Structure 1
């Protein structure tokens, strides 16, 4: 494939598999990857309670130093074979900006690359993990008058993430900005407000951030398209937003997923 994959999970992910780092890297080499970033779900901020049933959204803080050190060793081991970068997928959680900035100030110097993503939404009765399951999505939806209102909350939260003051080590890439569409075949939004999505794209361009061009949605049975879909990518290209392919693999066999469904003329880049 001769691609760079900037969004890969690891055996440290409690809701993924225990496929080893070596299994991921060896498969990447076999696929012809030129490089990859491991971007495990960062520990959630102090004071935030994981709303998922199994409390398995992220790695634990006490695991983080081992995670970083293990990747550092892999860089040395595979230095002649493939470029490996240390990264994290950081959750933007509305109301926990200070805690997230403190975390990044402490651990950011050890990272080569990172992603800023919205998985958690602050609704009337508390926080929800929006992409956890169709049932949880439906539960959030019951708090709103329409699915359009839920989409608006999601994109307003993404906009907050783009503008958030998270310090010198704030991630340069916004993760899967159409994740709210993960269950669209069960919960269709027939009247998507494209303007609020375009406003989000405009902010990303203005802040000179990258976009995660995420292939995992192609294999999600209720989505069946990349995050984001082609029309959003077309708008990102008009604004010269750098696109970084991400498999969002949670097992080694998912490396390269969705790559063949990406917009053919989209120039994919390596993280800066």
Structure 2
């Protein structure tokens, strides 16, 4: 089975206008048999998006339109490919109750979901840590160092893994080393292998999956997957399911870097 389980859509506030059907047809042509649309869920209602355009997640009317659109494309292509209705849900520290309430309401409509950390609280401010190198560096300055920012990130991801978000909590942890996005730009050599391995043990203990995310290969400041390939054997040794996700925000990016994880002789 060829599966791409982290795909965005024309309903992404900061993405493409490529039609859902265009994604599906490319997936079929590329030999994929299972895909998940995992659009950015609305942020907690009382949380203020700190990105300039405040476009990190869908609003509620867009969410309703997105869910209906995915259901239509699922029906249209049901003889050709498995399509899963999903969301990428942000874990924002301090907003667990609102996130749980959202999942309680929307969870019954989902086939798949990812839980990701994009926003970190440093002092009394939240930073979208992967938005830009400038935002990253400001967060590192306020955290006290790049190393301390890395530690804050892993603290937040571990908190997401153990948080009580109800029965519809996503079982897959999104791009668990996203903090590496600017590693070739910030100039500090950070050894975070202890934190990564500890995070993986926490994920394994909870029985969750890892989003084996290829998007970092395309980021000039990263040039590796999230998580890096060197850690995949350790994850496998812990029995953690690794689920490929291209994290595509347009049709061109769909399935990108899949071949870096798999070849024709590698079990899917």
Do they superpose with TM above 0.5?
yes
For residues 199-235 of structure 1, the C-alpha deviation after alignment (integer angstroms, 9 at most, x for no partner) is 1100100000000000111111111111110122121
* Number of residues of Structure 1 aligned to a counterpart in Structure 2: 267
Task: Give the structure 1 partner of residue 165 of structure 2.
Answer: 166
Partners of 2:244 and 2:185 in 1: how far apart? Answer: 26
Partners of 1:184 and 1:86 in 2: how far apart? Answer: 33
The alignment status of 1:37 with 2:36, answered yes or no, reads yes
**Superposition RMSD on alpha carbons, in Å?**
1.4
Runs of 4+ in 1 over 6 A off after TM superposition: 263-266
After superposition, where does 1:1-272 map in structure 2 within 5 Å? 3-262=2-261, 268=268
SS of 1:222's equivalent in the other structure is: coil
**CA contact under 8 A between 1:230 and 1:263: conserved in structure 2?**
no
Residue 263 (structure 1) shift: 6.6
SS of 2:89's equivalent in the other structure is: strand
SS of 1:84's equivalent in the other structure is: strand
Partners of 1:97 and 1:267 in 2: how far apart? Answer: 37
For residues 100-132 of structure 1, the C-alpha deviation after alignment (integer angstroms, 9 at most, x for no partner) is 000000000000000000000001140010000
Partners of 1:267 and 1:121 in 2: how far apart? Answer: 36
Per mean C-alpha deviation after superposition, the further-off stretch among 237-246 and 58-67 is 58-67
Q: TM-score, normalised by structure 2?
A: 0.96
Partners of 1:118 and 1:258 in 2: how far apart? Answer: 22
Partners of 1:9 and 1:112 in 2: how far apart? Answer: 15
Partners of 1:232 and 1:49 in 2: how far apart? Answer: 34
Residue 193 (structure 1) shift: 2.9
Query: In structure 2, do the counterparts of structure 1 residues 170 and 21 end up closer, same or farther at CA, with 3 Å as the change threshold?
Result: same
SS of 2:143's equivalent in the other structure is: coil
Residue 262 (structure 1) shift: 2.2
**CA contact under 8 A between 1:41 and 1:88: conserved in structure 2?**
yes
Partners of 1:159 and 1:266 in 2: how far apart? Answer: 30
Partners of 2:104 and 2:66 in 1: how far apart? Answer: 18
Per mean C-alpha deviation after superposition, the further-off stretch among 163-172 and 130-139 is 130-139
Partners of 2:233 and 2:121 in 1: how far apart? Answer: 30
For residues 48-101 of structure 1, the C-alpha deviation after alignment (integer angstroms, 9 at most, x for no partner) is 000000111111112112211111111110011110010000000000000000
**CA contact under 8 A between 1:218 and 1:261: conserved in structure 2?**
no
Note the residue ranges of structure 2 that are not aligned, 5 or more in a row.
Answer: none
Partners of 1:266 and 1:167 in 2: how far apart? Answer: 35
Q: TM-score, normalised by structure 1?
A: 0.95
